[in-house]
Amino acid sequence: MKRMAWVLVLLAMVCAPFVVGMAQSEPSGTITLYTSESEAQVNEMVALFNESYPNVTVNIFRAGSGEVLARLQAEREAGAIGADLLWFADIDYFSRLAEDNLLVEYIPTGADKVDDMFTYENGLYHEVRLIFNVVAYNTELVEEAPTSWADMLDPAYQGRVTMPSALISGAAFNQFGTFMNREEFGIDFYNGLNANGIVVERANGAVAEKIASGEYAIGQLVDFMARNAAKQGSPVAYVYPVEGAMLVPTPIGIFNSTQNLAAAQAFIDFLYTEAAQNLFVAQNYIPVVPGIDLPEGMPEFDVTAEDVTGVLPGVTIIVPDLEYIRANRDTLRAEFEALFGAPAS
C-alpha cells in the first residue's frame, strides 16, 4: 500500500504542471474594463470575446475620456483602482501611468505581426485598431479631390471650412499640439485657417454631420466617421493628406493591480485575432494586423508604394508629438482658445 501511495504521489507531481497549464489556458472569473470607446461597439467586441472565453465576465464602465480620467484619478487618490483594463483616447495619460509603474508590461499573442510603432513602451499599452485624422469633404461642393492639409486654406472654401475643437476633442488636441511644433505647419497654418473663415465645432460628430449636410465643404475629421457618413449615403469622401495622416491613439493596457491577469491578457490577445480584427473592420476602423481586408469606402492606394505599417500602402503617418504636448499642454490650450475662442456650449 505504501508503494502504491508513493506511485500516486509521483504521478500527481508529474501531472501537476500540465493541470496548471490547462487551467491557465482557460481564463475565468471577472475583469473590469474602463473605456471611452463606443458602448455599442465595445459590447459587440465583448460578446465576440465571450464566444471564445465563455467563463470570463467583462464588466464595462463606459464614459467620455474626461470622465474616465476623473474616475481613475479619484480611485488613485483613494488607493484602489477599480479597473483591470483601460482602453481610451488619451495616450498622454497612459504615459503618465507608465511613469508611475501602474501598468503591466505584456506583448500580446499576435502582436508580433504588427508594426513596432503601435506597441508602446515595451508593451505597456497597445494600439489594436487604427484611427486617423484626415481631410474630409462634401463631394457635391468640392469638384477636385483635395490632397493636402493645405487645401483647407483654399480661398474657394472661405467660410466653409471646419474642424473639431482641440479643447474638447483629444484627437484634435493631439493634432494641434503636434502641428504647432512642426515647421511645415506651426502658427502660420492655423492663422491661415482663421483667415479662411474656419468654423470650429465642438467635436468630430458635428463636423461629420455638417460636412454631410453641405453646411461645410471641407474639414478635419476622423476617418472612420467619414466612412460611416458615406456608408449611410451622404456625399462625403476623404483623403489621407500627402504630408501625413495624423494617428489618433486609442491604446489599451492592463493595470498592475489586476486580480485576474490571465483574463485581462486573454482579452488583449483576442483583440489581435482575425475574428476581432474583422469586427473592427465591420465597425469601419482600420485593422492594425496586416493581411486583414480594409473597410469599404477606403481611398484608392498606390499598391506599389512602400507600406511601412503593412496596412496602408503609401500613406505617411504622423505620430503625436507627446513629449512636446505634455511639456506645453496648458500653453497649447491657451493658444488654441486665443486663436479660435472657447467652444460653444
- Measured at the CA of 248, the angle between CA 48 and CA 31, to 5 degrees, comes to 35
C-alpha angle 204-205-206 in degrees, rounded to nearest 5: 95
pLDDT of 4 reads 46
What is the domain partition of the chain in residue ranges? 29-126+250-287, 132-248+320-340
Q: What's the confidence (pLDDT) of residue 160?
A: 98
Question: How far apart, in whole angstroms, are the C-alpha atoms of residue 210 and residue 194?
Answer: 19
CB 88 within 8 A of CB 258: no
* Structure letter (DSSP) for residue 115: -
Using DSSP bridges, classify how beta strands 119-120 and 236-239 pair: parallel, antiparallel or unpaired: unpaired
Please identify which residue in the block is written with the cell numbers 486573454: 266
CB 136 within 8 A of CB 222: no
pLDDT of residue 114: 94
CA 17, 264, 224, 195: dihedral to nearest 10 degrees? -130
> How high is the pLDDT of residue 1?
45
Query: Do residues 263 and 31 touch, judged by C-beta distance below 8 A?
Result: yes
Name the pTM for this structure.
0.84
CA distance 330 to 325: 9
Q: Estimate to the nearest angstrom the gap between the alpha carbon of 57 and the chain centroid.
A: 23
* CA-to-CA separations, 166 to 95, 137, 170, 173, 328, in angstroms, rounded: 20, 20, 7, 4, 14
Residue 253: strand pairing partners: 86
Among 3.30.70.60, 3.40.50.2020, 3.40.190.10, 3.50.50.60, name the CATH number for the domain at 132-248+320-340.
Answer: 3.40.190.10
Low-confidence ranges of the chain (pLDDT < 50): 1-23
CATH architecture of 29-126+250-287: 3-Layer(aba) Sandwich (3.40)
Please determine whether the domains at 29-126+250-287 and 132-248+320-340 fall in the same fold group of CATH.
yes
Four-CA torsion 214, 151, 225, 345, nearest 10 degrees: -70
State how far the Cα of 25 lies from the Cα of 266, in Å rounded to an integer: 9
